[in-house]
Amino acid sequence: MTLSWPRVPLAPLAVAFAVGVAASGWVRVSVAAVVLAVALAWGASLLVLGRLAPATACLLAGLAAVGAIRASPWPLASDHIGRLDVPAVARVTGRLATEPVVFAAERTRVLLDVERVGDEPRSGRLPVTLYGVAPPLTEGQQVAGEMRLHAATGFRNPGGFDYGEFLRREGMPVVASARVDRLIALDDPGPRWNVRVRRAAREAIARTLPPTSAALLSGLLLGDRGDLPPEVDDGFRRAGVYHVLAVSGFNVALIAGAVFSVLTLARCGRRVAAVAAIAAVLGFAFVVGPEPSVLRAVVMGVLVLGAVLLERDASVLNGLALAALLILAVRPNDLADPGFQLSFAATAGIVLAPLPRGLVWGSLGVSIAAQLAVLPIALWHFNQLSTIGPIANLGVVPLAGLATILGLLAVTVAFFTDAGGAVFLDALWPLLLAMRALVTLAARVPGALVHLPAPHWTAITAYGLGLVLALGWWRWRETRPEWSRWAGALALGHLVVAVTIGAWPLVRPPDGRLRLTVLDVGQGDAIVIQAPDGRTVVVDAGPGGGMRLDTGARVLAPFLWNHGVLRLAGLVTTHDDQDHAGGSAALRREFTIGDQLAGPERIWMGGVSVLPLTATDKPAGSRRNDDALVFRVDYGAVSFLLTSDIGAEVESRLIRAQAPLAVTVLKVAHHGARTSSTPPFLEKVKPALAVISVGRRNPYGHPSPDTLARLAATGARIYRTDRDGAVIFETDGFALTVIRWATREVEHFCLNPDGGC
């Protein structure tokens, strides 16, 4: 007797394996092994007894256990670079695992498969940041150089992306930096064929097209978006069509369809055409790289073309499930990758959704189905909801498809003759201009891209169940009307629940508490003040600029969106140093900003007093450390002093002016520099708590041991963003709660003179 599998037999297997991978963070390997053994034994017994349904359930449970075991981190090898004591400076020898990536001026990132550290053999993969203009390097090349090794770290903030945790999950607990003049190539194997093809394609495009159009075509053909101007890149995001710049099933389908159609029209036979299309698809995948969306599309494309060879009907859902199984079996961490989630969700949505007939309505249906499927993923990772995307896709996708086909043809011809390639590239240039014009127009529509809080997992679950039930309502409406009515009612209920939970951060009433969060932005300052009446102001926005990560866009904006903040009552930069003011431009782009904190007078926000203690009559953009703004924040018995980057001179000036300096919490000046937080100043402030916003491995030696000693002498309890991550202060005016986000440690202090906290 055989098992009675569902019509799509691989789908439940893929789901079970993915559930196991997702649960690996909470399930021990020993527990998963026990579950696997029990599932196999019990399932075999049930199968012998003819109990097919319970046996199938045991099979799925066992496969989930296999997924948990596969995704669980294994102990590092004894010679792994992660076992070194870091920070350290050492000579490292290894081979480049991938092509170098230039991510900023004189900044290059490489992945190194380590062979030796000093004179000792070592193993492991090492991300290396190279400073300076990098020499020509290629995948597989052996290099050596003096490098600074340190533990992988990232920003640790509520709801934020922790790059260090991501690297540790990928088996890279150590990262390195080096100057290019201290790096030498030990051999010159020459680039591999796929690298040569990719480079030649980029060079052919760059020779003929203007820079912006060349960068756009490189994105369409190769997924290479590094040279796109920021305004063009942002336009594609706001128009909801950024997916055309990510190599995926769109490109694979075009290549497979073009090769198959041309050879079929040339009377080469369907099987010959299918074999050639498979070869073209595999070659394309080798050239563009093993991104999850590419692997998914290649597996599905090969299955469909293989069905043509065998003269069978291909199941798209089975192909999708097989692609997921293969990718997760080899790279289980891809399950958490946004590209993996977006690619599989969009494809499943398009396949399962009932689509209308007709070219226009069918295309709109495809776009809406994909949008509905990826909505919770886009909100979870990017806080983005595209309102114009389904319509913009109607114009952009055909233009992108035609430009991709002509671009591939142009690049192919350019391999044989530059003149011939230039003819085709010149011919597609108007298509690229038309696409950019359409994207610009769509991006400028008011409300084209809406930023919302990342949904809670309960909202995502309710939304997913709502979509499944809605699909059941549609498919049962004629054959099983009673089921259809129930499914429709339940679908509507689930979607209402999902929207309610998702919208709660935007509509919940203020709770009457003051929250002051010192965010982890590295070597810089970014402070968010959330008043008891719901108003929010930001004091400094962290680093930004061409040579730095923009923490305004990457840290502050997501933090604010996830807390339901879509409008700021005020934004002030205490002075114009880039580690304080660099992120403010991103906040001004993304948020409507009021005029709170704009003047030198005290403001009140729901019972909270914010008093500037220093001001400058110099124009904005010219303030330096000694002209930085200082703010005192009071709420009941709790008070804060935000001292920016002031030094000893300004501290003395504040003392002479008899400014109200005594506070509960001191935001330590200038990241704990030795020249700030002088003994006379600390004697006046008398802080019970002190928080230092400082970057790990900063080159200035902050915080200074002298400053730490002076703070300790006052009896202040010290918090540091480099160790504690974001430091969150919450108070009702008397009880003060402090949360160290990195460790989730919570401390409570009672400041009510009458007690009763």
- CATH number of the domain within which 176 lies: 2.40.50.140
| Residue 379 resides in a domain | no
Query: Averaged over 444-449, what is the pLDDT?
Result: 92
Rounded Cα–Cα distance for residues 428 and 417 (Å): 17
Q: Is the pLDDT of residue 3 over 50?
A: no
- In this structure, the answer to whether residues 200 and 264 fall within a common structural domain is no
Pairing mode of beta strands 142-151, 665-667: unpaired
Whether the model clears a pTM of 0.75, i.e. scores above it, the answer is yes
How do residues 593-632 score in pLDDT, each as one tens digit?
998 888 788 999 999 999 999 754 444 444 578 889 999 9
| Residue 612 resides in a domain | yes
pLDDT band at 418 (very low <50, low <70, confident <90, very high): confident
- In this structure, the answer to whether residues 59 and 173 fall within a common structural domain is no
| Residue 755 resides in a domain | no
- In this structure, the answer to whether residues 661 and 520 fall within a common structural domain is yes
- The domain total for the chain is 6
Query: Averaged over 534-549, what is the pLDDT?
Result: 87
Query: Which letter does DSSP use for residue 123 in this model?
Result: B
Q: What per-residue confidence (pLDDT) applies to 542?
A: 94
Q: What per-residue confidence (pLDDT) applies to 507?
A: 92
Rounded Cα–Cα distance for residues 331 and 275 (Å): 27
* Token code pair at residue 714: 């006052």
Rounded Cα–Cα distance for residues 10 and 323 (Å): 10
Higher pLDDT, 621 or 700: 700
Query: Which letter does DSSP use for residue 555 in this model?
Result: I
At 650, which CATH number? 3.60.15.10
Query: What phi-psi label fits residue 564: left (phi over 0), alpha (psi between -120 and 50 degrees) or beta?
Result: left
pLDDT band at 5 (very low <50, low <70, confident <90, very high): low
Q: Name the one residue in this structure whose structure tokens are 């064929």.
A: 193
Q: What per-residue confidence (pLDDT) applies to 2?
A: 35
| Residue 716 resides in a domain | yes
Q: Which H helix or E strand runs over 310? A: helix 292-310
Query: What phi-psi label fits residue 355: left (phi over 0), alpha (psi between -120 and 50 degrees) or beta?
Result: beta
Q: Which of 676, 641, 692, 667 is nearest to 520 (CA)?
A: 692
Q: What per-residue confidence (pLDDT) applies to 375?
A: 95
Query: Averaged over 374-401, what is the pLDDT?
Result: 93
| Residue 632 resides in a domain | yes
- In this structure, the answer to whether residues 50 and 172 fall within a common structural domain is no
Query: Averaged over 276-300, what is the pLDDT?
Result: 83
Q: What per-residue confidence (pLDDT) applies to 621?
A: 45
pLDDT band at 222 (very low <50, low <70, confident <90, very high): confident
- Secondary structure class of 195 (helix, strand, coil): helix
For the chain, what is the largest distance between any 2 Cα atoms, rounded to a whole number of angstroms?
93
Q: What per-residue confidence (pLDDT) applies to 318?
A: 85
Instruction: Report the mean per-residue pLDDT for the chain.
Output: 89
pLDDT band at 644 (very low <50, low <70, confident <90, very high): very high
For residues 742 and 725, the answer to whether their CB atoms sit within 8 Å is yes
Q: What per-residue confidence (pLDDT) applies to 622?
A: 44
| Residue 540 resides in a domain | yes
pLDDT band at 191 (very low <50, low <70, confident <90, very high): confident
Of 106-110, 438-442, 711-715, which gets the smallest average pLDDT? Answer: 106-110
How far, rounded to the nearest angstrom, does the alpha carbon of residue 569 sit from its chain's CA centroid? 27
Beta bridge partners of 145: 92, 183
Query: Which letter does DSSP use for residue 526 in this model?
Result: E
For residues 435 and 216, the answer to whether their CB atoms sit within 8 Å is yes
Rounded Cα–Cα distance for residues 739 and 226 (Å): 38
| Residue 366 resides in a domain | no
* Token code pair at residue 85: 């004591």
Rounded Cα–Cα distance for residues 562 and 546 (Å): 26
Positive/negative CA dihedral, 111, 115, 116, 120: positive
Bond preceding residue 12 cis, omega within 30 of 0: no
Query: Averaged over 444-468, what is the pLDDT?
Result: 95
- In this structure, the answer to whether residues 207 and 274 fall within a common structural domain is no
- In this structure, the answer to whether residues 334 and 221 fall within a common structural domain is no
Q: Is the pLDDT of residue 193 over 50?
A: yes
Q: What per-residue confidence (pLDDT) applies to 618?
A: 43
Query: Averaged over 211-216, what is the pLDDT?
Result: 92
Q: What per-residue confidence (pLDDT) applies to 267?
A: 77
Q: What per-residue confidence (pLDDT) applies to 634?
A: 97
Q: Is the pLDDT of residue 446 over 80?
A: yes
pLDDT band at 420 (very low <50, low <70, confident <90, very high): confident
- In this structure, the answer to whether residues 490 and 633 fall within a common structural domain is no
Q: What per-residue confidence (pLDDT) applies to 305?
A: 80
- In this structure, the answer to whether residues 87 and 161 fall within a common structural domain is yes
The string of DSSP codes covering 246-260 is S-SHHHHHHHHHHHH
Higher pLDDT, 615 or 726: 726
- In this structure, the answer to whether residues 185 and 201 fall within a common structural domain is no
How do residues 90-148 score in pLDDT, each as one tens digit?
999 999 998 898 877 788 999 999 999 999 999 999 999 999 988 889 988 999 999 99
Q: Is the pLDDT of residue 395 over 50?
A: yes
Rounded Cα–Cα distance for residues 305 and 275 (Å): 8
Contacts with 694 (C-beta within 8 Å, 6 or more apart), sequence order: 523, 671, 672, 702, 703, 720, 721, 722
| Residue 360 resides in a domain | no
- In this structure, the answer to whether residues 572 and 640 fall within a common structural domain is yes
Q: What per-residue confidence (pLDDT) applies to 547?
A: 64
Q: Is the pLDDT of residue 223 over 70?
A: yes
Q: What per-residue confidence (pLDDT) applies to 499?
A: 96
pLDDT band at 290 (very low <50, low <70, confident <90, very high): confident
- In this structure, the answer to whether residues 218 and 172 fall within a common structural domain is no
Q: Is the pLDDT of residue 57 over 80?
A: yes
Q: Is the pLDDT of residue 313 over 70?
A: no
- In this structure, the answer to whether residues 254 and 402 fall within a common structural domain is no
Q: Is the pLDDT of residue 248 over 80?
A: no
Choosing from 424, 451, 478, the residue where a domain stops is: 451
Choosing from 436, 451, 466, the residue where a domain stops is: 451
Domain range holding 486? 457-507
Query: Which letter does DSSP use for residue 294 in this model?
Result: H
Pairing mode of beta strands 567-568, 592-593: parallel
Q: Which H helix or E strand runs over 384? A: strand 384-386
Indicate the angle between helix axes 52-71 and 29-48, nearest 10 degrees: 160
Looking at this protein, which amino acid is placed at residue 427? A
Express as a percent the part of the chain with pLDDT over 90: 59
pLDDT band at 647 (very low <50, low <70, confident <90, very high): very high
For residues 705 and 532, the answer to whether their CB atoms sit within 8 Å is no
